[in-house]
Every structure is written in structure tokens, then in C-alpha cells.
């Protein structure tokens, strides 16, 4: 999802009799659905994994501003412009909540930024795909925010208090994001043939990258068990992906669009759609930095950060001077 493939640094889940008394008490709290708060004792690996996961999620929010941000000035109506602006602004807000949640674990926003810029920390693979037409604003809201919601709704019950609370605030906004995307698709498919073609093309390009957002298949997802025991991951990747497909296919049909998958078929027995997996080699390549827009996205973030240094320093220097003046007065 926004946090894909997060390593826990552990070798699978250990049995109860292998845990220290502290660890056992910690696990008992989690099993009893009592939230872990920043001041509580927690295993080092739990802290580390959460920093990775929340950090990656935060980075995804702010890098995720870029593919849509570049269409704000080109939105076709004033209303659409305002809606898109509000949406991209929300994403910056999500980044902010999440960096704050990560800070409670003892890592600063600056440190996290540096890790993003050095490539040590990742963001969701989805944002390394380009947005080529206005229909992509529809597809991104509908599919990308849609996939995000699938993952984030259960995370409202995650074991770490600040993360769970950030998710509650974020989820409220995400369904608006998805609806505005779907509404763009609705108007495109009821427009000219060229507009409908644009909408179909956007779906074709975003379908498989959206499926990748849920991360590798369960059988290849080595860190899932520990994360699920800690309740920082609530469902498996495949469960969420299946749910997403089941919800999205009827929405595509309603739009009169075709999911680009010849093997997509409703399975009466399982009560699910059978569907084709995305190309996992492509997924790995994108995570490694070789997607179509990796360099551009990271480059834009680094440029914003470095170009803003004098601005942040200026504000900090003023605050310091003002504090001194207050003391002197």
C-alpha cells in the first residue's frame, strides 16, 4: 500500500515461551486491543518497523502531491481546479499528521526527509507513474485513493495510538478524494468519444500499478506475520487486493469502461473476481528506482527541500531573536 514491503527486521513470529516478560506483557496488551502510546515500553523492532512504515506512508503522501499538483494549473474549470487544490492540500496535511506520529517514536521530520532524499526510505511505487491527461486525475482519485482507503480503514484500529488517530483523520478525507476522482471519470465518459477514450486510457495505465499498491503476494511477503501479530498490519496484501478488485470492477462497468484484464471473471464459488496479477518484475524495478518518474519525483522533492532551506533558516533565526528579545525585555 502506501507502505509496501516494510521489513520488520525479525525472523518470523516467535512463540510465547520465547518472549521476555516485557515482550509478553507488550504482546498481551496488543492482543487485548489496548493502544500502545509513545511513552510505553515497546520492543526495539516494533519501534523501528513502525518508523519505517509510518515514514514511508508520510513520504507517499507528499510525493503523491506531485502527479496531481502538476494538473492544478491545467484543470479545465474553476470548480475542478478548486477541488483538486483542496485534495492535494489534504495530502500535504496527511503527510503532516504522519510525520508528527513518527516523531513520537523519536525520529525528527528532518531526519525522515533526509532518509527519503538519500533513497534510504521509499514511498509508494504508484507515484512513479506519470499523469498524462486530465483523465488521469480521475483515475488517480478513483483507483489510487480507492486503494489507499482499502488499506487505511482497517489501520484505524492499528496498535500504535498516534498512528491509529492519524488514520482516523485521514480516512475522513480519503472518501472525498475518491469521489472527486470518480466524478471526473463520470463526466469524461459522458462527454465526447475522445474524452471517453482518454478515460479508458487512464484506466488502462493505472489498473496494474494500482494493484501493485497492496504489495507483493502473501506467499512472497516475508514480513507480514510479525506485522500482523503486532497489529500494525491488519489484513494480508492479497485480501486487500481482492477486496479492491471486487469493489472496483462494478464501478468500472457503471462507467462503461473495460478493466484491461482478459482473464477477469466472476467466480461464483469463491464469491470473488478472479483476476490477473500485475507484473511483479516491473514492481521490483520501480521500487529500485527505475520506474518512469522516479528520478523526476525524488528530484522535485530534493529541489523543494534544498531550495527552501534559506526560508526555514530565516524563520528559525527570527524565532530565536524574538525569544532573546523577550528575555531581555
Partner 1 sequence: MPSLSDMNTDDVTKLADIAAAEQTHDAHVTNVETRPAFFEWLCRMGDTTLILGQRLSEWCGHGPALEEDIALTNTALDLIGHTQLWLGLAGEVENEGRSADQLAFLRDALKFRNVLLVEVPNGDMGVTTMRQFLFDAFHYELLQRLTESTSPRVAEIAAKALKEVSYHVERSTDLVVRLGDGTPESHDRMQQALDILWSYTGDMFVSDGVDATMAEAGIAPSPDTLREAWLARVEDVLDEATLNVPDNASCIPAARPANTRSIWATSCPICSFCSAPIRAPAGSRWRGAV
Question: Which residues contact partner 1 by CB under 8 A?
Answer: 62, 65-66, 69-70, 72-82, 85-86, 88-89, 92-93, 95-96, 99, 134, 146, 149-150, 153, 175, 178-179, 182-183, 186-188, 190-192, 194-195, 244, 247, 250-251, 254, 300, 303-305, 307-319, 321
User: Least distance to partner 1 from the beta carbon of 46, Å?
Assistant: 26
- Residue 177 contacts which entry, partner 1, Fe ion, none (Cβ below 5-8 A, type-dependent): Fe ion
Q: Is the CB of 180 or the CB of 294 nearer to Fe ion?
A: 180
Does 68 engage in binding with Fe ion (CB under 5 A)? no
- Only segment of 88-96, 201-209, 227-235, 236-244 that touches Fe ion (CB under 5 A): 88-96
Q: Is the CB of 66 or the CB of 229 nearer to partner 1?
A: 66
Binding mask 108-147 for Fe ion (x = CB under 5 A): -------------------------------------x--
CA distance linking residue 4 with residue 282, whole number of Å: 14
Q: Is the dihedral of CA 72, 89, 293, 206 positive or negative?
A: negative
- Only segment of 18-26, 92-100, 119-127, 184-192 that touches Fe ion (CB under 5 A): 92-100
Q: Is the CB of 8 or the CB of 248 nearer to partner 1?
A: 248
- Residue 33 contacts which entry, partner 1, Fe ion, none (Cβ below 5-8 A, type-dependent): none
- Residue 283 contacts which entry, Fe ion, partner 1, none (Cβ below 5-8 A, type-dependent): none
Q: Is the CB of 5 or the CB of 248 nearer to partner 1?
A: 248
Q: Is the CB of 51 or the CB of 167 nearer to Fe ion?
A: 167
Match 489507499 to its residue by C-alpha cell: 148
- Only segment of 85-93, 98-106, 130-138, 205-213 that touches Fe ion (CB under 5 A): 85-93
Q: Is the CB of 174 or the CB of 261 nearer to Fe ion?
A: 174
Q: Is the CB of 169 or the CB of 312 nearer to partner 1?
A: 312
- Residue 99 contacts which entry, partner 1, Fe ion, none (Cβ below 5-8 A, type-dependent): partner 1
CB atoms within 10 A of CB 160: 27
**SS3 letters across the chain:** CCCCCCCCCCCCCCCHHHCCHHHHHHHHHHHCCCCECCCCCCCHHHHHHHHHHHHHHHHHHHHCHHHHHHHHCCCCCHHHHHHHHHHHHHHHHHHHHHHHHHHCCCCCHHHHHHHHHHCCCCCCHHHHCCCCCCHHHHHHHHHHHHHHHHHHHHHCCCCEHHHHHHHHHHHHHHHHHHHHHHHHHHHHHCCCHHHHHHHHHHHHHHHHHHHHCCCCCHHHCCCHHHHHHCCCCCCCHHHHHHHHHHHHHHHHHHHCCCCCCCCCEEECCCCEEECCCCCHHHHHHHHHHHCCCHHHHHHHHHHHHHHCHHHHHHHHHHHHHHHHHHHHC
CA distance linking residue 255 with residue 248, whole number of Å: 11
Does 57 engage in binding with Fe ion (CB under 5 A)? no
Binding mask 161-180 for Fe ion (x = CB under 5 A): -------------x--x---
Q: Is the CB of 136 or the CB of 145 nearer to Fe ion?
A: 145
CA distance linking residue 198 with residue 181, whole number of Å: 14
Q: Which residues bind Fe ion (CB under 5 A)?
A: 91, 94, 145, 174, 177
Amino acid at each position: 500500500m502506501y507502505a509496501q514491503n516494510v521489513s520488520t527486521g525479525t525472523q518470523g513470529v516467535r512463540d510465547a515461551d520465547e518472549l521476555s516478560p516485557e515482550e509478553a506483557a507488550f504482546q498481551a496488551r496488543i492482543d487485548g486491543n489496548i493502544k500502545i502510546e509513545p511513552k510505553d515500553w515497546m520492543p526495539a523492532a516494533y519501534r523501528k518497523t513502525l518508523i519505517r512504515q509510518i515514514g514511508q506512508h508520510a513520504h507517499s503522501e507528499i510525493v503523491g502531491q506531485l502527479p496531481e499538483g502538476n494538473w492544478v494549473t491545467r484543470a479545465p474549470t474553476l470548480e475542478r481546479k478548486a477541488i483538486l487544490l483542496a485534495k492535494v492540500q489534504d495530502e500535504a496535511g496527511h503527510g503532516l499528521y504522519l510525520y508528527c506520529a513518527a516523531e513520537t517514536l523519536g525520529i525528527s521530520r528532518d531526519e525522515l526527509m533526509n532518509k527519503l532524499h538519500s533513497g534510504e526510505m521509499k514511498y509508494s511505487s504508484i507515484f512513479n507513474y506519470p499523469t498524462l491527461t486530465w483523465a488521469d486525475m480521475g483515475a488517480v482519485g478513483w483507483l489510487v485513493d480507492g486503494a489507499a482507503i482499502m488499506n487505511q480503514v482497517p489501520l484505524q484500529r492499528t496498535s500504535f495510538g498516534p498512528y491509529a488517530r492519524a488514520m482516523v483523520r485521514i480516512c475522513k478525507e480519503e472518501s472525498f478524494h475518491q469521489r472527486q476522482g470518480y466524478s471526473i471519470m463520470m463526466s469524461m465518459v459522458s462527454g465526447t468519444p475522445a474524452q471517453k477514450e482518454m478515460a479508458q486510457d487512464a484506466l488502462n495505465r493505472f489498473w496494474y500499478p494500482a494493484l501493485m499498491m497492496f504489495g507483493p503476494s502473501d506467499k512472497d511477503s516475508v514480513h507480514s506475520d510479525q506485522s500482523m501479530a503486532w497489529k500494525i498490519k491488519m489484513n494480508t496484501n492479497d485480501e486487500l487486493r481482492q477486496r479492491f478488485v471486487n469493489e472496483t470492477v462494478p464501478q468500472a462497468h457503471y462507467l462503461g469502461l473495460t478493466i484491461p484484464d482478459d482473464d477477469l471473471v466472476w467466480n461464483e464459488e469463491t464469491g470473488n473476481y478472479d483476476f490477473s496479477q500485475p507484473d511483479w518484475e516491473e514492481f521490483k524495478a520501480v521500487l529500485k528506482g527505475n520506474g518512469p518518474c522516479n528520478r523526476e519525483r525524488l528530484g522535485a522533492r530534493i529541489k523543494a527541500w534544498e531550495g527552501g532551506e534559506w526560508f526555514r533558516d530565516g524563520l528559525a533565526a527570527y524565532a530565536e531573536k524574538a525569544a532573546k528579545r523577550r528575555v531581555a525585555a
